[in-house]
């Protein structure tokens, strides 16, 4: 019998740029596949909130960056970032918000089982395509404390329309166009399951974003408000998909404080 999803198979030290945070390359189970990811743990025995970091992109575009993981861990979290199936030596094939969402859900379970993570205090963060992953994980993991989507995709139909440069990849990975495979695009679009999203949601988006248009944020905010969900939005009129370093640091500070406030309510 295979181990349960989220079970750690191996844990190897990875060079850390922070003297008080250890990094590890993790191999864990998801649907019987061996998946890779990066785990950040502040040194010591203190218990922390968990932080599931869900990256954007696909394959070698938008890879997990150790510095980014350290940035969040330094705010007082144990952070786990799945690489998703088929990446960095992991088994399987990444499919852009399809079955690979289960690697995020298994990552959530990994944090649930972590001896230094507080019960019911696991937050989910998604950047860019990771927004879809984060929303689906929050929908399917009802014990999540909060979810943050930053420059996040919420509508795969809109992504296909807006990103002509991604259409060939999307047709190859998903199997066709939205016209021919409507159910596959609906399956990847969390807006269709907004009724089931019962955790506090924070939307962060630059209004000049050309990678993921702010319409993704507007659509998500609108449907969550219509369904009387707990949603807060921070829009930045002058910024694109990537914020200047000083602003980025401040937003990280603000969003991590927002997360911790959700567990104190």
Bridge partner residues of 18 (DSSP): none
Q: Are 66 and 39 in contact (CB under 8 A)?
A: no
Q: What is the C-alpha separation between 172 and 170, in angstroms, rounded?
A: 5
Active site residues: 128, 241
Tokens of 153: 């995709």
Residue 11 CB neighbour total at 10 angstroms: 13
Strand pairing of 231-236 and 201-206? Answer: parallel
Q: Are 209 and 156 in contact (CB under 8 A)?
A: no
Q: Are 137 and 123 in contact (CB under 8 A)?
A: no
C-alpha dihedral, 128 to 256 to 108 to 150, nearest 10°: -10
């Amino acid at each position: 019998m295979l181990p349960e999803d989220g079970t750690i198979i191996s844990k190897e030290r990875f060079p850390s740029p922070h003297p008080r945070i250890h990094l590890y390359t993790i191999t864990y189970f998801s649907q019987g596949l061996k998946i890779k990811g990066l785990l950040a743990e502040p040194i010591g025995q203190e218990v922390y909130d968990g932080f599931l970091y869900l990256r954007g992109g696909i394959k070698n575009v938008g890879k997990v960056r150790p510095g980014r993981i350290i940035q969040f861990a330094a705010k007082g979290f144990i952070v786990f970032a799945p690489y998703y199936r088929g990446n960095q030596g992991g088994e399987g094939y990444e499919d852009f918000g399809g079955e690979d969402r289960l690697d995020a859900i298994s990552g959530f379970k990994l944090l649930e089982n972590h001896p230094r993570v507080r019960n019911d205090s696991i937050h989910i963060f998604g950047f860019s395509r990771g927004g879809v992953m984060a929303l689906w994980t929050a929908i399917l993991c009802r014990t999540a404390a909060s979810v943050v989507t930053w420059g996040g995709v919420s509508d795969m139909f809109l992504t296909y329309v807006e990103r002509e440069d991604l259409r060939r990849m999307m047709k190859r990975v998903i199997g066709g166009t939205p016209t021919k495979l409507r159910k596959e695009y609906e399956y990847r679009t969390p807006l269709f399951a907004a009724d089931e999203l019962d955790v506090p949601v924070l939307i962060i988006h630059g209004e000049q974003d050309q990678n993921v248009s702010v319409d993704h944020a507007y659509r998500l905010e609108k449907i969550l408000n219509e369904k009387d969900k707990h949603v807060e939005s921070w829009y930045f009129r002058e910024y694109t998909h990537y914020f200047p370093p000083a602003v980025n640091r401040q937003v990280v500070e603000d969003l991590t404080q927002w997360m911790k406030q959700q567990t104190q309510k």
